[in-house]
A = this chain, B = another copy of it.
Amino acid sequence: MSVPREAGRGLGPVLVVGTGLIGTSLGLALRAEGVTVTLSDPSPTACALARDLGAGALETADDPEPAVVVVAAPPDVVGAVVAARLAAHPHAVVTDVASVKSAVLGDLLAAGVDVTRYVGSHPMAGRERSGAIAGRADLFQGRPWVVVPHEHSDPAAVEAVTVLATAAGGAPVRMPAHEHDEAVAAVSHVPQVAASLVAARLRDLSTDAVGLAGQGVRDVTRIAASDPALWTQILVGNAAAVSTVLGELHTAIGEVLDALDGLREDADAEAPGARATLAAMLADGNAGHARIPGKHGSSPTMYTTVTVLIPDEPGMLARLFADVGDEGVNIEDIRMEHAVGRLVGVVDLLVRPDAADPLCAGLLARGWNLTE
Protein backbone atom coordinates (compact mmCIF):
# COMPACT_ATOMS: atom_id res chain seq x y z
CA MET A 1 0.00 0.00 0.00
CA SER A 2 2.89 2.32 0.71
CA VAL A 3 3.91 4.59 -2.12
CA PRO A 4 7.40 6.13 -1.82
CA ARG A 5 7.06 9.86 -1.33
CA GLU A 6 9.36 12.80 -0.86
CA ALA A 7 8.03 13.38 2.63
CA GLY A 8 10.68 11.47 4.55
CA ARG A 9 13.65 12.76 2.58
CA GLY A 10 15.82 15.14 4.51
CA LEU A 11 14.43 14.05 7.86
CA GLY A 12 17.36 13.03 10.07
CA PRO A 13 17.33 10.14 12.53
CA VAL A 14 14.22 9.97 14.69
CA LEU A 15 14.17 8.55 18.21
CA VAL A 16 10.75 7.32 19.34
CA VAL A 17 10.40 7.15 23.11
CA GLY A 18 7.47 4.92 24.04
CA THR A 19 6.52 1.96 21.87
CA GLY A 20 2.78 1.70 22.40
CA LEU A 21 0.26 2.01 19.60
CA ILE A 22 1.29 5.52 18.56
CA GLY A 23 5.06 5.13 18.92
CA THR A 24 5.13 1.82 17.08
CA SER A 25 2.86 3.08 14.31
CA LEU A 26 5.08 6.14 13.93
CA GLY A 27 8.18 3.98 13.65
CA LEU A 28 6.52 1.82 11.02
CA ALA A 29 5.32 4.84 9.06
CA LEU A 30 8.69 6.65 9.13
CA ARG A 31 10.71 3.57 8.24
CA ALA A 32 8.47 3.02 5.24
CA GLU A 33 9.61 6.48 4.12
CA GLY A 34 13.27 5.61 4.52
CA VAL A 35 13.77 7.48 7.80
CA THR A 36 16.22 6.02 10.36
CA VAL A 37 14.26 5.21 13.52
CA THR A 38 15.51 4.12 16.95
CA LEU A 39 13.21 3.01 19.75
CA SER A 40 13.19 3.38 23.51
CA ASP A 41 10.74 2.21 26.13
CA PRO A 42 10.92 1.59 29.89
CA SER A 43 9.73 -1.94 29.10
CA PRO A 44 12.45 -3.87 27.23
CA THR A 45 9.81 -6.40 26.17
CA ALA A 46 7.55 -3.76 24.64
CA CYS A 47 10.53 -2.17 22.91
CA ALA A 48 11.77 -5.47 21.48
CA LEU A 49 8.29 -6.27 20.21
CA ALA A 50 8.13 -2.94 18.36
CA ARG A 51 11.54 -3.67 16.87
CA ASP A 52 10.45 -7.13 15.80
CA LEU A 53 7.45 -5.59 14.12
CA GLY A 54 9.77 -3.41 12.09
CA ALA A 55 9.26 -0.07 13.83
CA GLY A 56 13.00 0.64 14.24
CA ALA A 57 16.22 -0.38 15.95
CA LEU A 58 16.72 -0.44 19.71
CA GLU A 59 18.39 2.70 21.09
CA THR A 60 22.06 2.23 21.97
CA ALA A 61 24.75 4.48 23.42
CA ASP A 62 26.48 4.55 20.04
CA ASP A 63 23.54 5.95 18.10
CA PRO A 64 24.11 9.15 16.16
CA GLU A 65 22.31 12.10 17.73
CA PRO A 66 18.64 12.09 16.72
CA ALA A 67 17.36 15.06 14.76
CA VAL A 68 13.92 14.66 16.29
CA VAL A 69 12.86 12.90 19.48
CA VAL A 70 9.19 11.90 19.66
CA VAL A 71 7.90 11.25 23.15
CA ALA A 72 4.97 8.84 22.90
CA ALA A 73 4.66 8.13 26.62
CA PRO A 74 1.50 7.96 28.76
CA PRO A 75 0.05 11.45 29.35
CA ASP A 76 1.02 11.70 33.01
CA VAL A 77 4.75 11.28 32.42
CA VAL A 78 5.11 13.14 29.13
CA GLY A 79 6.41 16.38 30.69
CA ALA A 80 9.14 14.62 32.65
CA VAL A 81 10.22 12.52 29.68
CA VAL A 82 10.32 15.54 27.35
CA ALA A 83 12.47 17.44 29.87
CA ALA A 84 14.85 14.49 30.22
CA ARG A 85 15.20 14.14 26.46
CA LEU A 86 15.76 17.87 25.91
CA ALA A 87 18.65 17.56 28.36
CA ALA A 88 19.98 14.28 26.92
CA HIS A 89 19.91 15.43 23.28
CA PRO A 90 21.09 19.04 23.28
CA HIS A 91 20.72 19.52 19.53
CA ALA A 92 17.52 17.59 18.90
CA VAL A 93 14.03 18.91 18.39
CA VAL A 94 11.74 17.21 20.92
CA THR A 95 8.03 16.72 20.39
CA ASP A 96 5.35 14.66 22.08
CA VAL A 97 2.09 13.16 20.88
CA ALA A 98 -0.06 13.53 24.00
CA SER A 99 -3.77 14.31 23.60
CA VAL A 100 -3.48 17.42 25.77
CA LYS A 101 -1.06 20.22 24.99
CA SER A 102 -1.22 23.12 27.49
CA ALA A 103 -0.42 20.95 30.49
CA VAL A 104 2.82 19.56 29.02
CA LEU A 105 4.11 23.00 28.08
CA GLY A 106 3.00 24.37 31.45
CA ASP A 107 4.86 21.61 33.30
CA LEU A 108 8.03 22.30 31.31
CA LEU A 109 7.85 26.06 31.90
CA ALA A 110 7.12 25.55 35.59
CA ALA A 111 10.21 23.34 35.82
CA GLY A 112 12.31 26.09 34.25
CA VAL A 113 13.14 24.03 31.16
CA ASP A 114 14.37 25.87 28.05
CA VAL A 115 11.58 25.00 25.62
CA THR A 116 13.08 26.52 22.47
CA ARG A 117 13.57 23.08 20.95
CA TYR A 118 10.27 21.68 22.24
CA VAL A 119 7.20 21.77 20.01
CA GLY A 120 4.22 19.68 21.09
CA SER A 121 2.07 17.83 18.61
CA HIS A 122 -0.97 15.57 18.51
CA PRO A 123 -1.78 13.15 15.73
CA MET A 124 -5.57 12.70 15.63
CA ALA A 125 -5.34 8.97 15.19
CA GLY A 126 -5.97 6.00 17.38
CA ARG A 127 -7.59 2.66 17.56
CA GLU A 128 -9.78 0.88 20.05
CA ARG A 129 -6.86 -1.51 20.45
CA SER A 130 -3.61 -0.49 22.14
CA GLY A 131 0.00 -1.58 22.35
CA ALA A 132 2.74 -2.17 19.78
CA ILE A 133 0.88 -5.16 18.38
CA ALA A 134 -1.94 -2.89 17.20
CA GLY A 135 0.50 -0.52 15.51
CA ARG A 136 0.27 0.04 11.80
CA ALA A 137 2.12 2.15 9.30
CA ASP A 138 -1.04 3.74 7.91
CA LEU A 139 -2.41 4.89 11.28
CA PHE A 140 -1.74 8.58 10.58
CA GLN A 141 -2.53 8.42 6.87
CA GLY A 142 -4.46 11.54 5.97
CA ARG A 143 -5.45 12.23 9.57
CA PRO A 144 -4.98 15.71 11.04
CA TRP A 145 -1.71 16.05 13.00
CA VAL A 146 -1.82 19.12 15.20
CA VAL A 147 1.52 20.94 15.55
CA VAL A 148 1.57 23.34 18.49
CA PRO A 149 4.02 26.28 18.26
CA HIS A 150 4.42 28.47 21.34
CA GLU A 151 5.96 31.83 22.10
CA HIS A 152 9.38 30.35 22.89
CA SER A 153 9.58 27.78 20.09
CA ASP A 154 12.26 28.02 17.43
CA PRO A 155 10.61 28.27 13.99
CA ALA A 156 13.06 25.61 12.76
CA ALA A 157 11.76 23.26 15.46
CA VAL A 158 8.18 23.90 14.38
CA GLU A 159 9.19 23.14 10.81
CA ALA A 160 10.95 19.92 11.83
CA VAL A 161 7.85 18.63 13.62
CA THR A 162 5.74 19.58 10.61
CA VAL A 163 8.05 17.59 8.33
CA LEU A 164 7.84 14.67 10.75
CA ALA A 165 4.04 14.76 10.72
CA THR A 166 3.99 14.85 6.93
CA ALA A 167 6.53 12.03 6.68
CA ALA A 168 4.29 9.88 8.87
CA GLY A 169 1.42 10.47 6.45
CA GLY A 170 -0.44 13.01 8.57
CA ALA A 171 -1.94 16.32 7.52
CA PRO A 172 -0.26 18.96 9.72
CA VAL A 173 -2.49 21.63 11.26
CA ARG A 174 -0.88 24.42 13.33
CA MET A 175 -2.80 25.54 16.38
CA PRO A 176 -1.86 27.16 19.71
CA ALA A 177 -2.09 24.85 22.74
CA HIS A 178 -5.21 26.42 24.23
CA GLU A 179 -7.04 26.23 20.90
CA HIS A 180 -6.07 22.58 20.54
CA ASP A 181 -7.15 21.74 24.06
CA GLU A 182 -10.48 23.50 23.68
CA ALA A 183 -11.07 21.78 20.34
CA VAL A 184 -10.34 18.25 21.62
CA ALA A 185 -12.43 18.93 24.73
CA ALA A 186 -15.42 19.44 22.43
CA VAL A 187 -14.69 16.85 19.72
CA SER A 188 -13.20 14.11 21.86
CA HIS A 189 -13.08 14.46 25.65
CA VAL A 190 -16.64 15.60 26.38
CA PRO A 191 -18.08 13.03 23.91
CA GLN A 192 -16.12 10.40 25.86
CA VAL A 193 -17.55 11.58 29.19
CA ALA A 194 -21.06 11.72 27.74
CA ALA A 195 -20.75 8.21 26.28
CA SER A 196 -19.45 6.82 29.57
CA LEU A 197 -22.19 8.48 31.60
CA VAL A 198 -24.99 7.39 29.24
CA ALA A 199 -23.61 3.84 29.29
CA ALA A 200 -23.39 3.93 33.09
CA ARG A 201 -27.17 4.46 33.19
CA LEU A 202 -27.57 0.99 31.59
CA ARG A 203 -25.55 -0.80 34.24
CA ASP A 204 -28.42 -1.50 36.62
CA LEU A 205 -31.25 -1.98 34.13
CA SER A 206 -33.15 -5.27 34.04
CA THR A 207 -32.24 -7.72 31.30
CA ASP A 208 -35.60 -7.07 29.64
CA ALA A 209 -35.00 -3.35 29.67
CA VAL A 210 -31.47 -3.47 28.28
CA GLY A 211 -32.76 -5.97 25.71
CA LEU A 212 -34.63 -3.08 24.09
CA ALA A 213 -31.34 -1.41 23.14
CA GLY A 214 -31.04 -0.63 19.45
CA GLN A 215 -28.40 0.77 17.14
CA GLY A 216 -28.74 4.32 18.46
CA VAL A 217 -27.55 3.63 21.99
CA ARG A 218 -24.93 1.22 20.64
CA ASP A 219 -23.39 4.04 18.64
CA VAL A 220 -23.69 6.65 21.39
CA THR A 221 -21.93 4.36 23.88
CA ARG A 222 -19.38 2.57 21.70
CA ILE A 223 -16.44 4.55 23.11
CA ALA A 224 -17.66 3.91 26.65
CA ALA A 225 -15.61 0.71 26.30
CA SER A 226 -12.43 2.83 26.40
CA ASP A 227 -9.64 2.33 28.92
CA PRO A 228 -10.46 4.13 32.22
CA ALA A 229 -6.79 4.55 33.21
CA LEU A 230 -5.79 6.27 29.99
CA TRP A 231 -8.90 8.44 29.94
CA THR A 232 -8.50 9.50 33.54
CA GLN A 233 -5.07 10.84 32.59
CA ILE A 234 -6.45 12.62 29.54
CA LEU A 235 -9.29 14.25 31.48
CA VAL A 236 -6.93 15.27 34.29
CA GLY A 237 -4.54 16.76 31.74
CA ASN A 238 -7.26 18.80 30.06
CA ALA A 239 -9.34 19.53 33.15
CA ALA A 240 -9.87 23.23 32.47
CA ALA A 241 -11.03 22.94 28.84
CA VAL A 242 -13.12 19.83 29.52
CA SER A 243 -14.69 21.59 32.47
CA THR A 244 -15.76 24.51 30.28
CA VAL A 245 -17.45 22.39 27.60
CA LEU A 246 -18.86 19.92 30.11
CA GLY A 247 -20.21 22.85 32.10
CA GLU A 248 -22.09 23.99 28.98
CA LEU A 249 -23.48 20.48 28.62
CA HIS A 250 -24.50 20.49 32.28
CA THR A 251 -26.32 23.79 31.86
CA ALA A 252 -28.02 22.58 28.69
CA ILE A 253 -29.21 19.39 30.40
CA GLY A 254 -30.54 21.54 33.23
CA GLU A 255 -32.58 23.50 30.69
CA VAL A 256 -33.94 20.29 29.17
CA LEU A 257 -34.83 19.05 32.67
CA ASP A 258 -36.68 22.29 33.38
CA ALA A 259 -38.59 21.90 30.12
CA LEU A 260 -39.43 18.26 30.86
CA ASP A 261 -40.57 19.09 34.37
CA GLY A 262 -42.92 21.67 32.93
CA LEU A 263 -44.40 18.98 30.67
CA ARG A 264 -44.95 16.15 33.12
CA GLU A 265 -48.43 14.76 33.33
CA ASP A 266 -48.58 15.76 36.98
CA ALA A 267 -47.60 19.38 36.30
CA ASP A 268 -50.31 21.91 37.12
CA ALA A 269 -50.10 23.46 33.70
CA GLU A 270 -47.82 23.00 30.74
CA ALA A 271 -44.91 25.40 31.01
CA PRO A 272 -44.95 27.89 28.15
CA GLY A 273 -42.05 27.41 25.76
CA ALA A 274 -41.14 23.97 27.09
CA ARG A 275 -41.74 22.24 23.76
CA ALA A 276 -39.84 24.99 21.97
CA THR A 277 -36.86 24.43 24.27
CA LEU A 278 -36.80 20.73 23.38
CA ALA A 279 -37.21 21.38 19.66
CA ALA A 280 -34.44 23.99 19.71
CA MET A 281 -32.12 21.61 21.57
CA LEU A 282 -32.72 18.92 18.97
CA ALA A 283 -32.29 21.38 16.09
CA ASP A 284 -29.01 22.62 17.59
CA GLY A 285 -27.93 18.99 17.61
CA ASN A 286 -28.79 18.72 13.92
CA ALA A 287 -26.69 21.82 13.22
CA GLY A 288 -23.72 20.62 15.24
CA HIS A 289 -23.85 17.16 13.69
CA ALA A 290 -23.85 18.67 10.21
CA ARG A 291 -20.52 20.37 10.94
CA ILE A 292 -18.62 17.11 11.41
CA PRO A 293 -16.40 16.50 8.40
CA GLY A 294 -17.15 13.50 6.21
CA LYS A 295 -15.14 10.34 6.51
CA HIS A 296 -12.98 11.05 3.50
CA GLY A 297 -12.11 14.68 3.77
CA SER A 298 -12.55 18.03 5.28
CA SER A 299 -16.09 18.61 4.10
CA PRO A 300 -19.07 16.30 4.33
CA THR A 301 -19.03 13.77 1.53
CA MET A 302 -22.42 12.41 0.71
CA TYR A 303 -22.75 8.90 -0.57
CA THR A 304 -25.85 7.16 -1.73
CA THR A 305 -26.87 3.98 0.00
CA VAL A 306 -27.90 0.95 -2.00
CA THR A 307 -29.49 -1.63 0.29
CA VAL A 308 -29.35 -5.26 -0.72
CA LEU A 309 -31.10 -8.18 0.96
CA ILE A 310 -28.93 -11.24 0.84
CA PRO A 311 -29.85 -14.81 1.72
CA ASP A 312 -27.92 -15.91 4.77
CA GLU A 313 -25.94 -18.53 2.90
CA PRO A 314 -22.19 -19.01 2.56
CA GLY A 315 -20.71 -17.31 -0.45
CA MET A 316 -23.49 -14.77 -0.95
CA LEU A 317 -21.33 -11.80 0.08
CA ALA A 318 -18.65 -12.88 -2.34
CA ARG A 319 -21.22 -13.19 -5.11
CA LEU A 320 -22.56 -9.73 -4.27
CA PHE A 321 -19.15 -8.07 -4.35
CA ALA A 322 -18.18 -9.91 -7.50
CA ASP A 323 -21.35 -8.56 -9.13
CA VAL A 324 -20.64 -5.06 -7.82
CA GLY A 325 -17.13 -5.32 -9.20
CA ASP A 326 -18.45 -6.50 -12.55
CA GLU A 327 -20.65 -3.41 -12.62
CA GLY A 328 -17.46 -1.37 -12.28
CA VAL A 329 -18.64 0.39 -9.14
CA ASN A 330 -16.36 1.30 -6.23
CA ILE A 331 -17.79 0.72 -2.74
CA GLU A 332 -17.01 3.67 -0.44
CA ASP A 333 -18.35 2.08 2.71
CA ILE A 334 -20.31 -0.95 3.83
CA ARG A 335 -22.71 -1.53 6.66
CA MET A 336 -24.25 -4.84 7.56
CA GLU A 337 -27.49 -4.95 9.48
CA HIS A 338 -28.55 -7.91 11.53
CA ALA A 339 -31.80 -8.56 13.28
CA VAL A 340 -31.76 -9.92 16.80
CA GLY A 341 -32.19 -13.67 16.91
CA ARG A 342 -31.99 -14.29 13.22
CA LEU A 343 -29.40 -13.54 10.59
CA VAL A 344 -31.13 -11.40 8.07
CA GLY A 345 -28.61 -10.37 5.51
CA VAL A 346 -29.12 -6.70 4.83
CA VAL A 347 -26.09 -4.96 3.36
CA ASP A 348 -25.90 -1.22 2.81
CA LEU A 349 -23.45 -0.32 0.06
CA LEU A 350 -22.41 3.33 0.09
CA VAL A 351 -21.42 4.54 -3.34
CA ARG A 352 -20.89 7.83 -5.12
CA PRO A 353 -24.28 9.29 -6.03
CA ASP A 354 -23.74 8.98 -9.79
CA ALA A 355 -22.97 5.28 -9.39
CA ALA A 356 -26.13 4.42 -7.45
CA ASP A 357 -28.65 4.17 -10.27
CA PRO A 358 -26.47 2.07 -12.58
CA LEU A 359 -25.54 -0.17 -9.65
CA CYS A 360 -29.18 -0.68 -8.67
CA ALA A 361 -30.14 -1.50 -12.23
CA GLY A 362 -27.20 -3.87 -12.59
CA LEU A 363 -27.87 -5.66 -9.32
CA LEU A 364 -31.58 -6.01 -10.04
CA ALA A 365 -30.76 -7.48 -13.44
CA ARG A 366 -28.49 -9.95 -11.71
CA GLY A 367 -31.36 -11.08 -9.50
CA TRP A 368 -30.52 -9.24 -6.27
CA ASN A 369 -33.28 -8.10 -3.98
CA LEU A 370 -32.87 -4.38 -3.25
CA THR A 371 -34.87 -2.37 -0.76
CA GLU A 372 -35.82 1.25 -1.28
Contact = CB atoms under 8 A, between A and B. Distances in A.
A339 B115 CA distance: 33
Contact of A103 (B146, B265, B324, B339): B265
A156 interface: no
Q: How many chain copies does the complex carry? A: 2
Chain A facing B: main interface SS: helix
Interface string A174-195: 0100011011101110111111
A372 B134 contact: yes
Given A129-B372, A187-B212, 7 more contacts: A173-B212, A183-B210, A187-B213, A218-B292, A246-B256, A297-B340, A317-B325
Interface residues of A, number: 144
Nearest to A103: B265
Interface in A268-311: 274-275, 278-279, 281-293, 295-298, 309, 311
A153 interface: no
B136 A371 contact: yes
Interface in A319-337: 320-325, 328, 330-336
Nearest to A220: B191
A253 B252 contact: no
A171 interface: yes
A200 interface: yes
Contact of A175 (B208, B218, B278, B343): B208
B103 A202 contact: no
Contacts of A334: 334-336
B229 A209 contact: no
A235 interface: yes
The 4 lowest CB-CB distance pairs between A and B, nearest first, are: A196-B285, A142-B339, A183-B209, A228-B282
Given A142-B342, A212-B183, A243 B264 contact: yes
B243 A257 contact: yes
A354 B192 CA distance: 32
A262 to B, nearest CB: 8
